[in-house]
Amino acid sequence: MGRQTSAISAVQTTIDKARAVGYRAGTHEELDSLATELRDHVAQMLPVAQDRTDRMWHGSREWYVLATRLSSISSEAEQSLATGKLAAHVQVRLLALDCEWLLTRYGADLPGQEPPR
């Protein structure tokens, strides 16, 4: 188990915590803390995703779809947490979905990956 495995595990743990918070549970402070953790994970994975996307042919449909998705994830991660409880819950869940998408697609490329043995 190397750094990459622990990084992936940390992201997955945060995603799981975000999923476990029900709409009636969780204070605004707890949601803000989760949102901050999720944003930190996005900030860690986004450069890896952008680097891989930048290597693609910029005229392809796949490049356009990925570049648009990454831009959207970046914009959403920059938003402060909504003040309303339901809106804050939705925002945390969407951040968790973005983290999960990034982790699924680019988790193996996170810095600190150990070479296969």
Residue ranges in 1-117 assigned as alpha helix (H):
3-20, 28-54, 61-78, 85-106
Q: Is the CB of residue 114 less than 8 Å from the CB of residue 8?
A: no
| pLDDT at residue 116, rounded to an integer | 39
**C-alpha 90, offset from chain centre:** 15
Nearest to 21 by CA among 81, 101, 88: 88
Residue 117 has pLDDT above 90, yes or no: no
How far is residue 116's CA from residue 8's CA, in Å, rounded to a whole number?
16
Per residue in 87-112, pLDDT (tens digit) is 999 999 999 999 999 999 998 888 76
| pLDDT at residue 115, rounded to an integer | 40
pTM exceeds 0.85, yes or no: yes
The C-alpha angle with vertex 60 and arms to 56 and 65, in degrees rounded to 5, equals 85
Per residue in 35-66, pLDDT (tens digit) is 999 999 999 999 999 999 999 999 999 999 99
Q: In the chain, pLDDT over 70 holds for what percent of residues?
A: 90
